[in-house]
Structure 1
Amino acid sequence: MAVRRLFLVIAFAGVITSVHPYTRPPPRETLFIPPTADSSAPEQVHVSVSGIDNMRISWITKDSVPAIVEYGTSSRAYNSSANGTSSSYSFFLYKSGHINDVVIGPLKPNTVYYYRCGSDHSSPEFSLKTPPAQFPIKLVVIGDLGQTGWTSSTLQHVAESRYDMLLLPGDLSYADFWQPRWDSYGRLVEPLASQRPWMVTIGNHEVESVPVIHKPAPFTAYNARWRMPFEESGSTSNLYYSFDVAGVHVIMLGSYIEFDRTLISING
């Protein structure tokens, strides 16, 4: 028994001596992406799933434009179109641009679609790829994305992964009350978020409500800018929802949602 104990101590000591200390990389510069010169051009374009075979296209313009998306499976040959809604919000002295949401479909799985936001024929063309209907599917999961040089590095790795869908469970823009950073964030992620569905939910950086006075309402910017398929899944809040993709049932549950303890089962 004594020999065994000695052996374990030696083995454990060997493990300890082989561990190298972790050196935290220094912070990188904070990014801010300026707006486009054309006030009617779509920017901050991102897509998300909306039901089994539909996709939601969201974008922002400074000017009021028709909330319409033209789309098809060939570049510049749009044989379908859909109309949606436009909204905006205020945050103290800040007033958002026009936030447009349009649901397109039904769409074929694992298919590239080309689309144009708004009715201006000179608007840029975007493309998206719908998720597959069955396995295999490649999901990317990231969190605390923010807007720094490290964000750019992370997005580059994501782009190289040839993924089908991105899941982001909270802490998107790190705007933390400064609303123009939400706009900057939308421009930063647009090259990826306009091509694959980004399914997101909230973290503490999305709360943005002043303590005591509780104004503005919590999650005002997040709810206005990143509308997820909560109604399609039977949820009553954009902060939690679920959806099916390629045989996987995904539950997105924000950690800052109020809950009723009386609903917790005894065995829970």
Structure 2
Amino acid sequence: MANPSPLALIVFFLLLILTISATEYSRPPPKKIIAMRSSKPESHPQQVHISVVGADHMRITWIADDKHTQSLVEYGRASGVYDKSATGEHTTYRYFFYNSGTIHHVKIGPLDPDTVYYYRCGGIDDMYSFKTPPASLPIEFAVAGDLGQTEWTSSTLNHINASNYDMLLLPGDLSYADTNQPLWDSFGRLVEPLASARPWMVTQGNHEIEAFPIFDWFHPFASYNHRWRMPYEESGSSSNLYYSFDVAGGAVHVVMLGSYAEFGSDSDQYKWLVKDLGEVDREKTPWIIVLLHAPWYNTNAAHQGEGENMRRATEHLLYEARVDIVFAGHVHAYERFKRVYDNKANSCGPVHITIGDGGNREGLALDFKKDHKSASLSLFHEASFGHGRLKVLNRTHAHWSWHRNDDSEATVRDKVWIESLSASGACGAGQTTELSASGKDEL
């Protein structure tokens, strides 16, 4: 048989390169920031978002530029028919030369589960609607971290909104305002179509700190705490930076932790976490989900070790409580780990998932380290923008999927069935968990 000619070899290798290039995914660069401006009259509500409060109440939050607007929400089950109402409170804050609009918080209820309600804010006839979460399983969460407000953020939100879900969970880094306060307003307008229709439950990230050490009157998290009030008081917490809540009739307990609040064994957050997890009855609550910002497990070069001190201080509490899943953000990529505890694979530890790829302006974290000490624990990673879906189907099983949104459609790139640790006899997630309040603090 004759040897192929040099020309034939060149053609072959060119075709091979073209084939590889056609199938290899090309990661996109960051996109520009979207500046959303309001065209509404000053008295009209804007930046409307909702959050759950207890088993059957909802908090409606909005901003109006008219300081005389009432803290009033009228609501009902029929479009345009508001047969119930509630009043609440309002606040403002100042940041250098910026003065916020009037921020209104009104708690409404009791509400029926899995029901659409129509509502208006401040007596102004702009109608909104939301659907309450179901009172039992199944329930579906959308999960997205490090959102920001770029064209990629808009793509993420569009993909989330394309499929039905019951609640959005956000593990920190919302607006990326970074002291530029009008960007908080812009972010609120950008997310309003989704955040006014389904409850958004959030925790803080490093971009929410906005502190100036030389100016004592600018308290950390001032913008975040004024704008995004979560049900911390209802969960026995003393801070809006960490709290918990139950959904699906108590079948799922969600814990929001503060990566940038004190977490040592003498801290309020640590003591609260011991009490909160210790009161969970796994016979009634088969699922525990935790969200925080700085990941405890991470093979990406970005933000290496930034969650390590918190892991050393509190990981044993999550392990003893048999937490099922831990979601984190901060690293602008996606990564899913095995069940893990204390840097080792452990079938009774949580599944750790980093999902800091919502669309932020800083771009993607591309450099995953193949020789990282945790590389053997990492099951899947990809540096792409996207969001996740967690559907808790019953007491024993949930389905997780990660959807890359860089394509024209939200492509499913990773998926896995997760079994609740409460269903595992080997892990002993029985009734109320006894936690070690004075656990080992390695700080």
Relative to the length of structure 2, the TM-score reads 0.54
* Residues 1:184 and 2:189 aligned together: no
Higher RCO structure (Cα 8 Å, ≥6 apart): 1
Map of 2:167 onto structure 1:
165
- Residue in 2 aligned with 1:38? 41
Pick aligned residue for 1:234 from 216, 220, 236: 236
User: CA RMSD, aligned part only?
Assistant: 1.6
Tell me the CA shift for residue 22 of structure 1.
Answer: 6.2
Q: Which residue of 1 aligns with 2:80?
A: 76
Distance in 2 (alpha carbons) for counterparts of 1:235 and 1:146: 27
Deviation digits for residues 196-248 of structure 1 (CA, Å, limit 9, x no counterpart): 00000100000000134455100000000000000000000000000000110
Q: Which residue of 2 aligns with 1:5?
A: none
Q: 1:84 to 1:30 in 2, by over 3 A?
A: same
Does the CA contact (< 8 Å) of 2:56 and 2:110 recur in 1? Answer: yes
Matches within 5 A, 1:133-148: 133-148=135-150
Deviations 1:156-202 (CA, angstroms, capped at 9, x unpaired)? 01101201000001000000000000000000000000000000010
Structure 1 residues 5-31: Cα deviation after superposition (integer angstroms, max 9, x where no partner) = xxxxxxxxxxxxx9x876431111111
Question: CA contact under 8 A between 1:140 and 1:163: conserved in structure 2?
Answer: yes
- How far is the alpha carbon of 1:135 from its aligned partner? 0.5
SS at match of 1:146: coil
Residues 265, 439 of structure 2: 8 Å contact kept: no
Aligned 8 A contact 1:36 1:43 in 2:
no
Greater than 6 Å deviation, 4+ residue runs: none
The separation in 1 between residues aligned to 2:123 and 2:78, in whole angstroms, is: 18
Find the counterpart in structure 2 of residue 94 from structure 1.
98
Aligned counterpart, 1:27: 30
Letter in 2 for 1:59: W
CA distance in 2, matches of 1:46, 1:266: 38
Question: How far apart in 2 are the matches of 1:83 and 1:205?
Answer: 32
Q: Check 1:53–1:37 CA distance in 2 against 1; reply closer, same or farther (3 A cut).
A: closer
Partner of 2:63: 60
Query: Are residues 212 and 23 of structure 1, via their aligned partners in 2, closer, same or farther at CA, if it must alter by over 3 Å?
Result: farther
Q: State the distance in 2 between where 1:163 and 1:146 align.
A: 21
Structure 1 residue 266: Cα displacement? 3.7
- Maintained 8 Å contact 1:146/1:172: yes
Query: Are residues 127 and 266 of structure 1, via their aligned partners in 2, closer, same or farther at CA, if it must alter by over 3 Å?
Result: closer
Please give the secondary structure, in 1, of the residue aligned with 2:234. Answer: coil
- Aligned-partner residue type, residue 107 of structure 1: L
Give the gaps of 5 or more residues in structure 1: 1-17
Q: Which amino acid aligns with 1:191?
A: P
In the other structure, the counterpart of 2:52 is 49
In 2, distance between residues paired with 1:23 and 1:236?
A: 46
| Paired letter, 2:210 | E
C-alpha displacement at 1:36, in angstroms? 2.3
Q: Kindly provide the amino acid, as one letter, of the partner of residue 173 in structure 1.
A: S
Secondary structure in structure 1 of the residue aligned to 2:233: coil
Aligned to 1:113: 117
Q: Shift of residue 152 of structure 1?
A: 0.5
Structure 2 residue identity aligned to 1:187: R
Which residue pairs with 2:417 in the alignment?
A: none
